[in-house]
Amino acid sequence: MRTRRRAVSNVFAKIHNMFVRPPAFEYKDRKLYCERIPLDQLAEKYGTPLYVYSATAIQDRFSIFDTAFEGVPHTICYSVKANSNLSILRLLAKLGAGFDIVSGGELERVRLADKKTLSKVVFSGVGKTADELALALRAGILLFNVESEGELELLAECAGKLRTTANVALRVNPDVPAETHPYISTGLHEHKFGVPIDTARGLYRRAAAHKYLKVAGVSLHIGSQITDVSPFAIAIERATELIRQLTADGHKIRFLDGGGGLGISYNSAQPLPFPELVSSYAQAITSVLQQLGKQRPHLLLEPGRSIVAPAGALVTRVLYTKRNGAKNFAIVDAAMNDLLRPALYGARHEITPVALEEAIIQTDVVGPVCESGDFLARDVTLPALGSGEYLCVLDAGAYGMALASNYNTRPRPAEVLVEGARARVIRRRETLKETLHPESACL
């Protein structure tokens, strides 16, 4: 009997080691917890699909980022597009964050979350409209990251009508390659973002000639999910050389917006220790900035994924299991409309059982949407699953709910924020009536 218990214990130890997770999501007594609450308890109470976030993980990761740059004047402008939930924005605002936005809608989110942080907003994006520019001018944001000559002229026109001054940085394209997915690489001349760095001086002269535009900074962003810090250093070097030239031209450059893009590991077998990675990232950037001496501008940074991705997960329930030939399938209630990244980028999220079991199989985890691309993971090792059991899609805090849609007329999930032993709904589950209302109201 003792031998059998030892064998079973060894099996569970082996399975547990397959699913080792960061502190926000850990196993205790064979159940997966977010902080101090079992995920199955949250799933039973709030239903699935369900996004769950750890407030402590968000706070800790922001603090690590902020502390790494304490040697230089800086502002961490969290990238709202990564996860724009109002409660998460409010949590970050309380920690001292500014915000990087790319739309008028995101500006309104910041206003609702914490109106006082509007003065720490930078507005990026290639397609700002006149209405959006006017909204940001009235809000008194910190900086406009202008991405084209046409946008510069439109901003000058809008500022003139409102008789208010806009702080301007040109987003320059440093032509620095980053080893990342082509859809999220942004720093080459072939991409739609920014203006060529070698033509920027002429546009800065044009900006300075406008009465209601004030040249205030230089901005860049080379891509996302980058885990090698060397491209960041090269991009900052090219930006600092431009700052020297602009200073010689008579401009006062008060801000350098280094963008975001620092990546995470989506594979626990190949971890990227966050404090060490951020420390290397900070060293790569600040060592270049030191060369500017008294000309050194205030540094703006735009992390998003690296702050919230590992702090969030998507909990889903198994509807059915089936076998087609040699393939096993677990059909779950979360779909590509709930988490688009696997279908959009071929992204690989680890999926882990909420309750550990002994038997192990290879299976595809797929959703109910009528698309062959509707999968959360392929050929993953999981316990043998049954209907009603729960799975957890990890590292889903960024570009998860933010990219969710109503495809197949599916209401979007609820979101829950956990802090210690307390959980609260920060977005209630969408109802079918709410999904149909914009159309049914027109009948």
Amino acid at 170: L
3-state secondary structure of 270: coil
For residue 123, the surrounding DSSP H or E stretch is strand 121-123
Residue bearing tokens 């600092």: 240
Q: Using CA atoms, how far apart are residues 406 and 98, in angstroms rounded to an integer?
A: 30
Cα gap 4→366, rounded to integer Å: 35
CA 125, 129, 133, 139 torsion: positive or negative? Answer: negative
Q: What is the DSSP letter of 194?
A: S
- Asked if the bond preceding 438 is cis, omega within 30° of 0, the reply is no
Distance of CA 42 to the CA centre of its chain: 24
Q: Cα 275 vs. chain centroid, distance in angstroms?
A: 18
Distances in Å between the alpha carbon of 254 and those of 97, 295, 379?
19, 9, 51
Alpha-carbon span 8 to 14, nearest angstrom: 10
Active-site residues, by number, are 370
CB 253 within 8 A of CB 218: yes
Of 156, 151, 159, 98, the C-alpha closest to 125 is 151
In what helix (H) or strand (E) does residue 76 lie, and over which residues does it extend? strand 74-79
Distance CA 342, CA 199 (A): 38
Q: Which residue blocks in 290-411 are alpha helix, DSSP H?
A: 305-308, 341-345
The Cα 61–Cα 53 span in angstroms is 13
Bridge-partner residues for 316, per DSSP?
391
User: Would you state the structure tokens that stand for residue 24, as one six-digit string?
Assistant: 């926000």
DSSP state of 263: -
Cα gap 244→253, rounded to integer Å: 9
